[in-house]
């Protein structure tokens, strides 16, 4: 991203951030000299943009610009079969990611949890290539049921969210469009889940994902609702949404050849993952987005 584009990207979000942090003098106050000197929103914008501009270019010269995880469709995956599956312990459960698939008509699993040891239990974000490919909230125990998103899959960066609310309720959101829902009963056993996976099926090493992915998050207990979907689709940072129920958030925007540690410390082991400099721009959420960007670059500078 050129530095001029970077300045334009953070400007609007920084202005929103600045307005909220610039208090006006109390009503009726006449002695201006008694008021503390405060920076106006435009001054805050200039300060934030300058700091981000400096940190951004230090990042380019050092560890590199923001990236995304690239999946090859045959062996690429992230997984955790140790401490993470136990956190997928009951309804509701939700999965979110920004994805850019190679094909708009392929079948693949984006992320989820499953019983790899033998049973059929799984909760997955799934794209079914049959007919008009749509994102699915896919639940399976003795059989399988799925809620289809209203929007068909495309090969550009789009947000995707699946929510499993109960044995008879699951919802799929994709590309900022309307949701799709399903109410067929499916009694998945949470106790059987032994693996959290990204880019592959939870019960077998099949249905590999081909494409790019960033900003992966999972929730349990407190999960994103319809209004949160609007914020996520607009570019809000996932860790700022339904934070009380956040299992973990993996930005997937740094070096992908190694394991990825989420914001809550849970590790995804990497297999055959490569880097891409193609990354979705998170611009929604106003101050949330600027705060997240500043936190990211300050942490990178400190490291």
Same domain? 293 vs 223: no
Residue found under tokens 């008021």: 35
What are 101-123's pLDDT values in tens digits?
999 999 999 999 999 987 789 99
- The CA distances from residue 69 to 24, 46, 123, 151, 297, in Å, are 44, 32, 22, 24, 19
State the CATH number of the domain containing residue 254: 2.60.120.200
Residues 5 and 106 placed together within one structural domain of the fold:
no
- For range 273-300, the mean pLDDT: 60
Domain assignment of residue 45, given as a range:
1-20+41-65+281-303
CB atoms within 10 A of CB 213: 29
Of 237, 216, 229, the closest CA to residue 84 belongs to 216
**What per-residue confidence (pLDDT) applies to 257?**
67
Instruction: State whether 287 and 240 are in the same domain.
Output: no
Q: Are residues 50 and 161 in the same domain?
A: no
Do 150 and 6 belong to one domain? no
Q: Residues 208, 108: contact at Cβ < 8 Å?
A: yes
Preceding peptide of 184 cis, ω within 30°: no
Residues 39-92: pLDDT tens digits? 454 544 444 444 444 334 333 333 456 889 999 999 999 999 999 999 999 999
- Its pTM stands at 0.74
Tell me: do 227 and 122 sit in the same domain.
Answer: yes
pLDDT of residue 65: 66
Residue-averaged pLDDT of the chain: 80
Backbone angles phi, psi at 235, to 5 degrees: 110, 15
* For range 193-201, the mean pLDDT: 96
Mean pLDDT (whole number) for 262-284: 89
């Amino acid at each position: 991203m050129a530095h001029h584009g970077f300045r334009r990207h953070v400007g609007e979000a920084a202005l929103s951030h600045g307005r909220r942090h610039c208090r006006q003098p109390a009503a009726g106050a006449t002695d201006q000299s008694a008021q503390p000197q405060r920076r106006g929103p435009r001054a805050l914008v200039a300060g934030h943009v300058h700091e981000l501009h400096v940190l951004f270019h230090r990042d380019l010269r050092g560890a590199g610009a923001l990236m995304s995880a690239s999946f090859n469709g045959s062996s690429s995956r992230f997984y955790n079969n140790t401490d993470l599956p136990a956190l997928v312990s009951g309804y509701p459960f939700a999965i979110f990611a920004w994805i850019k698939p190679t094909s708009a008509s392929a079948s693949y699993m984006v992320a989820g949890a499953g019983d790899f040891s033998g049973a059929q239990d799984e909760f997955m974000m799934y794209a079914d290539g049959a007919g008009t490919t749509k994102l699915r909230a896919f639940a399976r125990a003795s059989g399988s049921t799925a809620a289809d998103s209203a929007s068909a899959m495309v090969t550009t960066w789009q947000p995707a969210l699946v929510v499993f609310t109960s044995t008879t309720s699951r919802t799929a959101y994709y590309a900022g469009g309307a949701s799709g829902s399903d109410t067929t009963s499916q009694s998945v056993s949470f106790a059987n889940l032994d693996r959290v996976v990204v880019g592959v099926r939870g019960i077998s090493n099949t249905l590999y994902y081909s494409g790019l992915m960033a900003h992966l998050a999972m929730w349990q207990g407190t999960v994103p609702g319809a209004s949160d979907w609007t914020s996520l689709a607009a570019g809000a940072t996932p860790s700022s949404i339904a934070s009380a129920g956040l299992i973990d958030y993996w930005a997937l925007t740094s070096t992908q050849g190694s394991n990825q540690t989420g914001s809550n410390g849970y590790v995804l082991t990497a297999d055959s993952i490569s880097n891409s400099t193609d990354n979705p721009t998170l611009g929604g959420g106003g101050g949330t987005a600027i705060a997240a960007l500043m936190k990211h670059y300050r942490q990178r500078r400190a490291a």
